[in-house]
Structure 1
Amino acid sequence: MDTTSPIEVLWNNIIHTFENIDPNWLENHKKAVAKGLVIPELDYDYCCENGLKPPCADPEKRNIYLQQAHLEHLWAFIYSVLVVYEERVINPMQKGNFDGEIKINNALLVRANQLFDWSISLSNKVTQWDTSLPNPAYHHNDREKFYAEKTNGLFQSAVAYLLYHEYAHLVLGHDIYFLGRTKADMEKLSDDECSTLIQLEQEADLFALNRVNGSTETDCAKLVGGLPVFMTIFSSLLMVKYKSNIQQKRHPDLDTRLANLLIELDLNEDENSHYIYYYGCYAIIMFLRKHKIFLKPETHDTAEEYFHDLLAKLDEIKNPKEEA
């Protein structure tokens, strides 16, 4: 794998965001390092020889694994979905002419869609970024630069969230549960043991959200902190090979993670909550269409109501009703 990936231009920003996104936690981080709970170095993999892999904590080495290809996927996913969502959902809504159709009919959208396809393809095979497509290092025009810079901020917070999730496993004592267990051992866990793991994952989710979202009180600030996390979960949703994979054995189900996040954000009914709920609706519909599931048009009073109806559709996929 080429080490000159365009994602490399954001490396210092990634580290800076992780270390400074929650200034109140910095002293605790220093104490964790001093106690040997975590070492202050990431295990960065730019070779990516074993396929796409998200960040993970190593309880023996006390560090966090971070893969270049996964960073590339995340940036490309956030950019491409953001462009189409804002250009074909938010902007038309603000103008009062949104008709429900997502038309990919100009160069900005076509190129974003091509980048989206590549980001999803990485789950099957890791390939090099075609830098003629949008990326953080080179910008085709001012409009793409605008969205790339917007993506950079979201991406850096998203990576900080992922890193703090893994960091939580190391500093909150979760690693004791994993030490000495092989991959084969993990596959043989009982239902009770899997339930314990899910609880630990939820604890790590909340820990990471609190680092990224801080002590924000306004809905606007909550949106800024919560949106990158929302996008991160949706990238996982769109990457699953089979629709049934939204149900997880040792992690919270992906739809449960989305619902839990919105409960924690506790957004009021205003334009900020509309933005994140409509984004959620758009992403779930993308997931359903990927798996050839097409819904009949329905009327909803609010974006939140529509989002929760779509979450119910995901729950039906996990728990299909038996034919009478």
Structure 2
Amino acid sequence: MFQQTNPQFFEELSADIKGRKVNQIVDLIYGEVPLRKEDGSFWTPRIIGSSKQIEVHETFLSFVWCAIYSTFVKYLETVDFPQTNNRQGKAAYTANQDHLETATQMFDYARSLIVDFQKWNIDVSPNPEKYLAENRDFIEQTTLYYNSAVKFILCHEYAHLKFEHLKNIDKNTDKSRFCEMEYEADNFAIDSIMKGYFEPAHFAAEAQRLANEIGVIFGIVVMFYFKASTEGAKHPNAEDRLTNALERLKLEDNHPGWGIACTGFKFWDSQFGKNLVWDIENKSFKELYYQLLDQIKKEN
């Protein structure tokens, strides 16, 4: 999946492997451990300078899938379906409380993985490995967005190796330079994915584009759930990364990506008690996003 990000990507990646900028092996670390390490850092994706490898932890991947599932279902049931009812002028869809309760449970499980690893009960909880056919829509759509989110994350880390960012930093490097490199990595990842869109005439063009766009958004949104503050010591604020991605994707004002970003803010709000004011009436998803963003900025 990663190698086929766009038609030229494999050739580009192969050249960087041959040029010894990138190790051809992604280091997938297995282990039933929480994401928070003893030193307070997290098992989030990173690059290893000595081996030039991308490192990804098994628990992080579980966290991402569960966080996407909960956010996506919450978006559908509380944002997308009501808007559809408004457009159609009738109550074609009603919120399914069982779906919402399951989404909340999955979110609680996802965030618990940060501090206390508990085994994923695939006999009871939604998961991409074992599920009933009647539950396939939410699960398989989640997996579709998860795949695109992981692709975005891998492309981001690959960019750090490709542009040899580690060679350009030392103990005296200031935050602005770190931020520049993070945006460069994000923009490379987004542009690489956009280059892989099918031609408009392709029968799956719209669905594939939507999956990739939403995947990029989720690749950033899930990082909000790690802590109450959006500020990073050596990274741009999380909301600034998200805004950059949304604008770079050139999404329409009511694109689901804006709505999912808003739902991500809502989950983060419920997790850390930010008391954001959610006023969706007579607003596009984009307008709602910037309204919520303004509240976050004022708090920071």
If the TM-score is normalised by the length of the shorter chain, which range does it land in?
0.7 to 0.9
**Which residue matches 1:11?**
none
Contact 1:222 1:267 in 2 (8 A): no
Q: C-alpha distance in 2, partners of 1:92/1:138? A: 30
Q: Do structure 1's residue 166 and structure 2's residue 184 form an aligned pair?
A: no
TM-score computed with the length of structure 1 as normaliser: 0.79
Q: Kindly provide the amino acid, as one letter, of the partner of residue 89 in structure 1.
A: V
**Which residue matches 2:15?**
31
Per mean C-alpha deviation after superposition, the further-off stretch among 114-123 and 286-295 is: 286-295
Q: C-alpha distance in 1, partners of 2:196/2:155? A: 16
Q: Kindly provide the amino acid, as one letter, of the partner of residue 193 in structure 1.
A: D
Shift, 1:285, TM fit:
2.1
Pairs within 5 Å for 1:1-324: 17-47=1-31, 49=33, 51-52=35-36, 53-96=43-86, 105-106=97-98, 108-131=99-122, 132-139=124-131, 141-178=132-169, 185=171, 189=172, 193-214=174-195, 216=197, 220=206, 222-240=209-227, 242=228, 245-269=229-253, 271=254, 273=255, 275-296=256-277, 298=279, 299-318=281-300
Q: C-alpha distance in 2, partners of 1:81/1:49? A: 23
TM-score computed with the length of structure 2 as normaliser: 0.85
Q: Kindly provide the amino acid, as one letter, of the partner of residue 212 in structure 2.
A: G
List alignment gaps of at least 5 residues for structure 2: 37-42
Shift, 1:222, TM fit:
4.9
Shift, 1:248, TM fit:
1.4
Give percent identity, aligned residues only.
Answer: 23
Cα distance change, pair 151–62 in 1 and its aligned pair in 2 (3 A): same
Q: C-alpha distance in 2, partners of 1:125/1:104? A: 30
Contact 1:48 1:67 in 2 (8 A): no
Contact 1:237 1:254 in 2 (8 A): yes
CA RMSD of aligned residues (A): 2.5
Q: C-alpha distance in 1, partners of 2:54/2:8? A: 21
Counting matched residue pairs gives 282
Shift, 1:295, TM fit:
4.2
SS of alignment partner, residue 56 of structure 2: strand
**Which residue matches 1:12?**
none
SS of alignment partner, residue 57 of structure 1: strand
Q: Kindly provide the amino acid, as one letter, of the partner of residue 302 in structure 1.
A: S
Shift, 1:35, TM fit:
1.0
Q: Kindly provide the amino acid, as one letter, of the partner of residue 238 in structure 1.
A: Y
Shift, 1:300, TM fit:
4.6
Contact 1:161 1:229 in 2 (8 A): yes
Q: Kindly provide the amino acid, as one letter, of the partner of residue 94 in structure 1.
A: T
